[in-house]
Structure 1
């Protein structure tokens, strides 16, 4: 006996877990072709790529109401946290006791900074770091020489000149850059007075000599639900990579990444880019031209 479909007419029901860049983009791209429900406990979309500006106090807020994106596209927002996936019955359970059926599932729960103790700030606690920096001058150490660490160190040094900023990396700062891009990044950091320390592993925040520590390393994917559901995981996910968690052979489940333009019957096809595009990348105004008095810019609802 075949499985019961949860479609409405010819439109399959797609359940998207997570309202970050990948989840929101997937929901918006799928909305013309399917009935889409987006599951996320928050009613706001956060621009994670601008959290360094929130931390430095450049912007008072980097989030936007999800309704600005979802309502024009006819997407249902389910304000709950997914707690379980049952691929056999094609249902997702939530923390408020609901069981949500789906025809296709998009797993886009993203990643988080690994716990490092109470002393260190992270990208997720950028608002708290901003408040702390207002208390007075001192020293702040950024741990992690990747994109997040470089952006944080440069923004803090430029926007908070009363603070002494250092950047610490186990390997080379910007190791994934081209040599030219890496030299440029190092030049910008040094021009802003950032002290750079490379080649020393920092295991915990307490080993850093600074008044405040910002942890921009040890990102881990949120794969717990996928693992508990028995979905095959990419081996890189277990090692702390932010690679997609669900492998291609998982039926009716797509991992984060570029959403398909059409939903077709049959086994789901999964594809993902290295960095999901911003939902409003084609319509946002230039950075130097704010559209409101306080300098903030609400994103456009156009995503195609």
Structure 2
């Protein structure tokens, strides 16, 4: 008779990796088998893809190395289906992994399906390989004094546009956004952002949506044609259809609908974390960022460990703290926020802000490594310990 409690974690991004190593630490004295599934053997720093796009090299973090000493089994492959009734996941259509608890951490990717031509003619920063190919092509375009159009004025678009403009001053960079860049910031932080965009020579096309992406241009809803030797698409996200296809209850976007303990309301032994989960707080739904995703992963690891011990579980609670934005390697703007992510009074700019953002981007891998040896608190809100719970 099999007495092992089998836990399968899908996705080894920021949330899946933290859930795995923290869960291994929390259950080290129990008869638990943890399996982590991911298509790539490398841990991808999604927070740094704009740096790769600008031609910078990142550290090569291998998942096996991060998992050293944890006892976690790493399976490289694509999760192709889930059978909640049978309690198993199929990997690469030929390997079956049974589970007692499933942690769904597949995350999201850039949605290029909404606007005609985006999938065919625009680049995305979804993975290091694509970002490196983009950087190689960008070098050739920059050498000819060419043009780059960045579609999307959110944080990803801002960071990509400024990083590239800072690294390639010979490029003509245009940022296209329906709303003004930095609308999530307060007036002073947004003013600093706009002055930085001016300093870097970034042209803004504000107020019109992209209606079509052409091989050498972008067409806007007001009829304007913006020429582009390269187009970078950073707006809109989509999630993997795996959960919906499996009959797990999802919302209109395909996010798993969860209860107050981040368990699927249709299949309670399935836990969703990060931007794969539709998580609601009293002030509204959490949006998918590393800032909110890491706490969901830590909470879920603690929750499963407590449930295995027969202990009670507190509901998940979360509040935002900041919006850190890099503006090249030597500049940045940090907007400190209220719990509901609306801007507060405090902000930080310049080199101090760049150092602050770098510390945020660099923190996950050390957190994973520390979590192999000790129970590391995950902060949610200005010094208040997160939703983490004693095991």
Q: TM-score interval w.r.t. the shorter chain?
A: 0.7 to 0.9
* Aligned equivalent of 1:14: 7
* Aligned equivalent of 2:244: 227
Structure 2 contact 11–37 (Cα < 8 Å) conserved: yes
User: Which of 123, 126, 129 is 2:131 aligned to?
Assistant: 126
Structure 1 contact 254–270 (Cα < 8 Å) conserved: no
**What SS class does the counterpart of residue 210 from structure 2 fall into?**
coil
User: Which of 176, 191, 196 is 1:188 aligned to?
Assistant: 196
Structure 2 contact 303–313 (Cα < 8 Å) conserved: no
* Aligned equivalent of 1:293: none
**What SS class does the counterpart of residue 256 from structure 2 fall into?**
coil
**What SS class does the counterpart of residue 197 from structure 2 fall into?**
helix
User: Which of 91, 95, 98 is 2:92 aligned to?
Assistant: 95
Do structure 1's residue 255 and structure 2's residue 272 form an aligned pair?
yes
**CA distance change for structure 1 residues 251 and 40 in 2, over 3 Å: closer, same or farther?**
same
* Aligned equivalent of 1:172: 180
1:248-270 per-residue CA deviation (whole Å, 9 max, x = no partner) reads 31310111142332421489998
Do structure 1's residue 302 and structure 2's residue 370 form an aligned pair?
yes
**What SS class does the counterpart of residue 204 from structure 1 fall into?**
strand
TM-score (norm 1): 0.81
TM-score (norm 2): 0.64
**CA distance change for structure 1 residues 218 and 252 in 2, over 3 Å: closer, same or farther?**
same
**What SS class does the counterpart of residue 106 from structure 1 fall into?**
strand
- What is the RMSD computed on CA atoms of the aligned residues? 2.8
> Which residues of structure 1 form unaligned runs of 5+?
239-243, 276-285, 291-295
User: Which of 146, 151, 156 is 2:154 aligned to?
Assistant: 146
Structure 1 position 67, deviation (Å): 1.3
> Which residues of structure 2 form unaligned runs of 5+?
113-117, 220-225, 260-264, 275-295, 321-353, 377-391
* Aligned equivalent of 1:53: 51
User: Which of 209, 222, 225 is 2:227 aligned to?
Assistant: 209
User: Which of 6, 10, 30 is 2:23 aligned to?
Assistant: 30
* Aligned equivalent of 1:161: 169
- The 1-side partners of 2:163 and 2:317 are apart by 30
Flag the structure with more relative contact order, 1 or 2, with Cα contacts below 8 A and sequence separation at least 6: 1
* Aligned equivalent of 1:245: 256
- The 2-side partners of 1:195 and 1:167 are apart by 6
**Equivalenced residues, count:** 273
- The 2-side partners of 1:121 and 1:189 are apart by 22
Structure 1 position 159, deviation (Å): 0.6
Structure 1 position 225, deviation (Å): 0.8
- The 1-side partners of 2:74 and 2:315 are apart by 23
- The 1-side partners of 2:69 and 2:43 are apart by 15
Structure 2 contact 10–16 (Cα < 8 Å) conserved: yes
User: Which of 18, 40, 43 is 2:41 aligned to?
Assistant: 43
User: Which of 56, 59, 78 is 1:81 aligned to?
Assistant: 78
Map 1:275-290; keep pairs closer than 5 Å.
none
